[in-house]
Amino acid sequence: MEKLSILDKLKEYDGTTFDISGDPRKEIGAALVAEPILSSIKNQLTEVDLSDFVAGRPEEEALEVMNIFSLALEGSALRYLNLSNNALGEKGIRAFGALLKSQHNLEELYLINDGISEEAAKALCELVPSTDKLRVLQFHNNMTGDVGAIAISYIVNHSPLLEDFRCSSTRVESEGGIALAKALGTCSHLKKLDLRDNMFGIDARLALSKALSAFSDLSEIYLSYLNLEDEGCIALANALKESAPSLEVLDMAGNEITAKAAPALASCIASKQFLAKLNLGENELKDEGAILIAKALEEGHGQLCEVDMNTNLIRRAGARRLATAVVGKLGLTLLNINGNYISDEGIDEVKVIFKNCLNVLGPLDENDPDGDDYDDEGDEQSGHDELELESKLKGLEIKQEE
């Protein structure tokens, strides 16, 4: 039956694509049966998906199966190769050595959740002969670290057509972040950048802000959980404001951003009129920052779909201003202000603002009206706070007009 499983996949072969991803029934015998068939059609193949096809197998067997497929497909001219979810590590990368060494036309390469360690990243850099045509390169949920990131940066530096780069949750810190940022600065065609969940230090944050000036076509940027803090956020926001005119997604969640960075962030957001999704959740913007962000979103932004400001120590004034700023956006599907310190009266006000589209207002089950940063006096003075903040916003508007 296991041999039939792979053979059935071969029967589904459409002339250019071979997909055996997620097949739960695989063994060496089945691979041996498939090998001559694959060898006979490899010159026609342009897309191969081998994701999750040996995960969970004993290491020795998995490596042998990888080697069989690698030799069978050696010499093919692939544009798409997906080896994700196979716990490859360095041994797995080298088991696919024959296949990787023969690829000169790759446009998309996926190595997600593959145990890509420092040594595995070095092996990949060593084995792939050319990335001149590479448009998509995705590493996610690997243990690459700084040394591995430096190896990956070499690949990026030799991928002038790169449009989509994902290196999220890869344990990259300052040294690796700097190397990646410098390499990305050569990728003038970049449209999507995802570096989430790494520990960039201050030098890496600043290096990345310098690289952003090259990204005139950038449409999506994911920088959440990068330890940006205010200094990193300000540098990146200022850089983004001068580039990426068609930005559609901006994600800076979980970066300990406070109201100090809000003017720069708001100025950047105001300049991004094609913005569809904004995620600033799990920061510390408070009312002052929230009102500045709301003001930035008021004018234009006709394509806005989602705004996430959860868990930001926001109270009544900030919540009301955010709601008022976005409720009229025709395409809006979500305003998330959960996990804040909004009073019961504030919640009622927000619900009244969204009375004709309550489904757009996200859940409020984690809101804490008695939160540490909440007090009755502050809530009563919220109107005064908004007036005081308007003076700060005038400076923001003048900067936009220049």
Taking only the tens of pLDDT, the chain with its 402 residues reads: 233 345 455 545 566 766 666 654 445 666 676 788 888 889 999 999 999 988 778 889 889 989 999 999 999 999 999 999 999 999 999 999 999 999 999 999 999 999 999 999 999 999 999 999 999 999 999 999 999 999 999 999 999 999 999 999 999 999 999 999 999 999 999 999 999 999 998 899 999 999 998 999 999 999 999 999 999 999 999 999 999 999 999 999 999 999 999 999 999 999 999 999 999 999 999 999 999 999 999 999 999 999 999 999 999 999 999 999 999 999 999 999 999 999 999 999 999 999 999 999 999 999 999 886 444 444 445 555 556 655 555 555 534 434
Read off the tokens for 292.
């500045």
* 195 falls within a domain: no
Query: For residue 136, is it within any domain?
Result: no
The strands making up 277-279's β-sheet, listed across from edge to edge, are: 17-19, 47-49, 80-82, 108-110, 136-140, 164-168, 192-194, 220-222, 249-251, 277-279, 306-308, 334-336
Q: What is the pLDDT of residues 106-133, one digit of tens each?
A: 999 999 999 999 999 999 999 999 999 9
Residues 283, 310: contact at Cβ < 8 Å? no
- Nearby residues of 251 by Cβ (< 8 Å), 6 or more positions away: 196, 221, 222, 223, 224, 277, 279
CA atoms within 13 A on the CB side of 45: 25
- Residue 215 is assigned to a structural domain of this protein: no
Domain-embedded: residue 138: no
Three-class DSSP labels, 116-176:
CCHHHHHHHHHHCCCCCCCCEEEEECCCCHHHHHHHHHHHHHCCCCCCEEEEECCCCCHHH
Q: How many domains, the chain?
A: 1
Output the pLDDT for position 14: 60
pLDDT for 3 equals 34
In a domain, 200, yes or no: no
Q: Which domain holds residue 270?
A: 231-402
For position 242, which CATH number holds? 3.80.10.10
| Cβ-contact 151, 179 below 8 angstroms | no
Q: Identify whether 134 is part of a domain.
A: no
Q: What is the pLDDT of residue 394?
A: 56
Q: Is residue 167 in a domain?
A: no
Q: pTM for this one?
A: 0.90
Q: What is the amino acid identity at position 342? A: I
249's tokens: 């997604």
In a domain, 380, yes or no: yes
